Structure 1
Amino acid sequence: MSLTDLPCVKHVKSLPDDELIKVLFVNPNSTQAMTNACLKMLAGHVAPDTVVYGYTAPVGRAPNVIEGHLDGIQSTIAVMEDAYELITQVDCVLVGCFSDHPLIKSVREEFDDVVCMGIVEAAVYSSRIIGSKFGVLASIYKSQLRDEETIAGLGMSTFCVGLLSSGIKTVSDLVKVEEAELHKAMSKTALTLVEEYHADTIVLGCAGMSDLKDAVQNALQEKGYEIPIIDGVVCGINMISAVYRSGLHTTSKQGAYSSAKEARELRGDVVGIKR
């Protein structure tokens, strides 16, 4: 597989290909429709010096949703086996899962000259720039609990007024809900974050929430609230390309992200990694 095999998004007045910052948007689940939706959402938001390639984890090897810790581990293995060579061809990797996905740290550790970020980092860091207190609109109840730990790990708990979902327990239940009903439930939850928790920004807690943004924004505006709705995919693409554009092209190898590659190869423990 090469980058030319992947769908991509560029600015309408894009620079020549050899001058572009290459960003790989990695959807670590195997649902191609979600990748397509994220790329569609990025149209009009990519800088002229950047190209975004959309990669979807392989069907049958990665779960079709990332709902729990094991899903994250399985999807990391699938992506590292399937997309290792792709990652060597890009400058930046944005992991499209609103969690402390193990793929983020795996890429930082394994590759010397690739900048990697997750959409949760991009979203909450952006919220701190444009607001004082943010609330997170979680997809399901389990994500709500998991994301609390993620935000604490980023040192952002002080600025987070709360994480709320519509109360739907699992993704299996979520997909059974009619779109209009889901939009209404999520909009009501967002209103609760603003009126009762006093959030002045709302973070969308899933890469797959792109179609919810307008519905939530409109519901808040109808109540007189001009609240920024932050999507980690759009923020992430522009944030990570800005980091690279600033001359920060490598992850520090002097600490926790020092590479384990050499020791692994000395042990002969390279099974499954495609190069």
Structure 2
Amino acid sequence: MYISKPQHYQDGKSVNRAADMNILIVNPNSTQSMTEGLKPLLADLASANLSLHFFTAPSDAPPSIDDARTSALSTSVTFSALQSILKDARSSESTDVKIRYSGYLVACFSSHPLTPLLRSRTTAPVLNIFEAALLHARALAMPFGIVTTGQYWEAVLENGAKEFFSGRDVDNATTSPATDEINVAGFVGVRSTGLTAAQLHLTEREVVDRRIADASADLVGQGARAIILGCAGMSGMEDAIRVGAQRHGREVRIIDGVRAGVVLLEGLVKTNAV
């Protein structure tokens, strides 16, 4: 079974060295191209003190996380593959330097069950990009919406956002109010493109951009002033969001949960540094 090794990426090149802070970005699906696509988009966040490392789930994980079944499968396969990495230290591939991961970012835009599993195995901070994006949006204090992939995610992410901000389990009707009774200030809602995460990179770019623009225009028409990219595979597709907003003659803030997650984890590590 092939498991891609965590890699450090800085200034457009793969580098083997230790840094004061090492963040592991975990792609819990098996599509290596999605991981590769993140590297140049995050390279400017790395520094002499911060190294970004990347891990892609092995081939028996789903190529795209599109529903509850693939989410559960990706969790099982990825968590198993990460067991050796979750030890206190891990040797890099080509040196004797020990890499200690200061934080973990799960690059799936959902309340991915891998997140609490990782938290149970490490004292380092763990975030997923869904949480990071929501925190970023709340900090901006402006109406926001989410553009996501398949239609399945519309209700799931809307419930997830309400649960995240309310601290209640909106799926548990015996202990929590109905979902529609929970209001999140400034949250406009979720709109889907109808494409899976994998299809974002397999479909003609013109089609992808049009669908993202359509979904964004709908949210802006509902009052959104900030748009969250609701999939790690959408990183780098910000221009399509802007095109959709311009249909209403507006500009919007665009939130990339992967970038937000790296910055938040860096801050958490610095805050708790001894």
> Taking structure 1 as the reference length, what is the TM-score of the superposition?
0.79
1:202: which partner in 2?
227
1:270: which partner in 2?
none
User: Is 1:102 aligned to 2:129, yes or no?
Assistant: no
The 1:73–1:31 alpha-carbon spacing in structure 2 relative to 1, beyond 3 Å, is same
User: Which of the pair is proportionally richer in helix?
Assistant: 1
- 1:45 to partner: Cα distance: 2.5
Number of aligned residue pairs: give it: 241
- 1:232 to partner: Cα distance: 0.3
1:165: which partner in 2?
192
State the SS of the aligned residue for 1:93: strand
State the SS of the aligned residue for 1:87: coil
Show structure 1 runs of 5+ residues with no match.
Answer: 250-275
1:53: which partner in 2?
53
- 1:46 to partner: Cα distance: 2.8
The 1:172–1:87 alpha-carbon spacing in structure 2 relative to 1, beyond 3 Å, is closer
State the SS of the aligned residue for 1:101: coil
Identity of aligned residues (%): 27
CA distance in 2, matches of 1:69, 1:79: 15
User: Is 1:232 aligned to 2:257, yes or no?
Assistant: yes
Paired residues of 1:11 and 1:48 also in contact (CA < 8 A)? no
The 1:48–1:242 alpha-carbon spacing in structure 2 relative to 1, beyond 3 Å, is farther
The 1:85–1:212 alpha-carbon spacing in structure 2 relative to 1, beyond 3 Å, is same
State the SS of the aligned residue for 2:110: coil
- 1:26 to partner: Cα distance: 0.3
Q: Whose relative contact order is higher, 1 or 2, with alpha carbons under 8 Å and at least 6 apart? A: 1
Show structure 2 runs of 5+ residues with no match.
Answer: 90-100, 167-183
Counterparts of 1:1-275 in structure 2, within 5 Å, are: 5-10=5-10, 17-60=17-60, 62-88=61-87, 89=89, 90-111=101-122, 113-155=123-165, 157-166=184-193, 168=194, 177-195=203-221, 197-221=222-246, 223-247=248-272
- 1:70 to partner: Cα distance: 2.0
Paired residues of 1:10 and 1:48 also in contact (CA < 8 A)? no
CA distance in 2, matches of 1:224, 1:46: 35
- 1:202 to partner: Cα distance: 0.3
Q: Which amino acid counterpart does residue 228 of structure 2 have in structure 1?
A: V
Q: Which amino acid counterpart does residue 33 of structure 2 have in structure 1?
A: A
> Taking structure 2 as the reference length, what is the TM-score of the superposition?
0.79
C-alpha RMSD over aligned residues: 2.7
Paired residues of 2:147 and 2:229 also in contact (CA < 8 A)? yes
CA distance in 2, matches of 1:59, 1:128: 36
CA distance in 1, matches of 2:262, 2:252: 22
CA distance in 2, matches of 1:131, 1:122: 15
- 1:226 to partner: Cα distance: 2.1
Q: Which amino acid counterpart does residue 107 of structure 2 have in structure 1?
A: G
Q: Which amino acid counterpart does residue 228 of structure 1 have in structure 2?
A: R
